Structure 1
Amino acid sequence: MKQLKWLLIIVSCAILTSCYSVRLRNVNGTPQPDPFSNRKDYYRGMAVVELDTIISIKITSKDFTYLIKEKEACESGKLNIIEYRNTFGGVLLSAITFGKKRKVTIKYVCEKPSN
């Protein structure tokens, strides 16, 4: 019974510490507005692009670059806010595949085009 209790404590600590979010914001510039957005979170009134994908990395690679393609959502070609989110499921996928596959959740807001 005592071992089960410790196992549950360790698993719950691992779950809580593996979920985090990192947000990077440019202090110069204005985020691209979206007047039709009905979000209630940090991105209220902003045009947000969300990517939820799985990337494949070779075991020998030390870094990875994900290219954000130009599209109509980012007219200025500049990023104002970038958020990277890590979840427990992403950590498990990386552990099971020995780091070859990683689940990535990214939100970004483009900079408002200057006139």
Structure 2
Amino acid sequence: MEYIRKYSYFEIRKKAKAVEIEPLLPEVNDQVLNELNSVLAMAFYETNRHVKLEISKFDTLPFPVIEKLIKYALDLREKNRVLILSKPRPPIRKYIKTFSLEELILIL
């Protein structure tokens, strides 16, 4: 069973064990960040599944986005769920390894 919900900047697919969030644009601006906050909140409160975020379109992420994702991963961890980052680019992978976030965020 797959349920798809489209927003202005994101598409959400609810699968059996995870909620997949895919950005529709390769950039992050204030509107995208606001919608990301809403989408992440929806994935947290409306489901009890892991959250997979497709980030292959982004070369880098602004610090407010990284900060939001780390806080979100901590909240998910409290609920025995995991934030999964799918296909991050090398600079994002390096950031995660530099700050030892591999145990907090799963990378695919």
Identify the structure with bigger relative contact order (alpha carbons < 8 Å, sequence gap 6+): 1
Query: In which range does the TM-score fall when normalised by the shorter chain?
Result: under 0.3
The structure having more radius of gyration, on CA atoms, is 1
TM value normalised by structure 2? 0.22
The structure in which a higher percent of residues are helix is: 2
